[in-house]
Amino acid sequence: MSSTRESTELRRRQIVDAARRIIATRGTDALTIREIAKEVGISDGDVYRHFENKRDIILLLIEDIERTLLKAVKRAAHEKNKPLASLSNVLKAHLSYVEQRRGISLIIISETVRSADSDLRQRMFKVVDQYICRIEELLAHGVELGQVRKDLDINTAAFTFFALVHGTVTLWALSDSAFSLAQRHKPLWDSYLASIAVRGD
């Protein structure tokens, strides 16, 4: 890889990291090319050399969420033949992921929901859909092993799992991080487990 390519990738990463910091502290309305340039310490023109507009930066943030969140989910779901343990790990990993990144994924999801850009919405939908599919796989494996109820609607249960995280994170963000997401893992998991597990598990 040439030094020019390395320099370009480094600059793009600096711009995306700056965008993430701006969103985390001031929201997406404050995310402008000028503010990004000030945050990185470069000119507006330097930002435009790497991204045409704010939309391109948001798209890269969505791709970053896809890569990092789904990687965290895959890493958490490692318990062989223990789908319930894997689901618990995924819940914990997702809450930790959000807390460490100061709720950026929630903000980006909200931004794309209200966006008139159907391509951005479809891109975010793809990320969420991949996440839900992974939860469905773990639930289906749990049914096969007799750990998850056979009468369970797996698709609905996977949506509920996502909604559980999303709802908790929304309240956490609205409260200005007044509580620890990590501490919410056990009560959330216990409640979810009671709704899906075969009695006695």
The CATH number of whichever domain residue 35 belongs to comes to 1.10.10.60
Counting the structural domains of the chain, the total is: 2
**What is the reported pTM?**
0.84
Kindly report, residue by residue over 76-127, the tens digit of the pLDDT: 988 788 999 999 999 999 999 988 887 788 788 887 888 788 888 899 999 9
Contacts of 94 (CB under 8 A, 6+ apart): 69, 72, 73, 76, 165
Identify whether the C-beta of residue 120 lies closer than 8 Å to the C-beta of residue 164: no
Q: Indicate the SS3 state at residue 146.
A: coil
What does the alpha-carbon distance between residue 43 and residue 36 come to, in Å, rounded to a whole number? 9
Q: How far apart are CA 88 and CA 108, in angstroms?
A: 25
State the average pLDDT over residues 12-36.
Answer: 86
| 81 in the same domain as 21 | no
Domain that holds residue 20: 1-52
Beta carbons of 133 and 154 less than 8 angstroms apart: no
Extract the runs of DSSP E, i.e. beta strands, from 94-160. none
| Alpha helix segments (H runs only) across 32-103 | 33-40, 44-48, 54-76, 83-100
pLDDT in tens, 168-198: 999 998 898 899 999 999 999 999 999 999 9
Q: Is residue 108 part of a domain?
A: yes
Of residues 169, 154, 19, 182, the one with CA closest to residue 103 = 169
Beta-ladder partners of 148? 197
Q: Which residues contact 142 (CB under 8 A, 6 or more apart)?
A: 83, 84, 87, 148, 196
Looking at residue 4, its pLDDT comes to 60
Indicate if 19 and 74 belong to the same structural domain: no
Residues 37, 66, single domain; the answer is: no
CATH number for position 137? 1.10.357.10
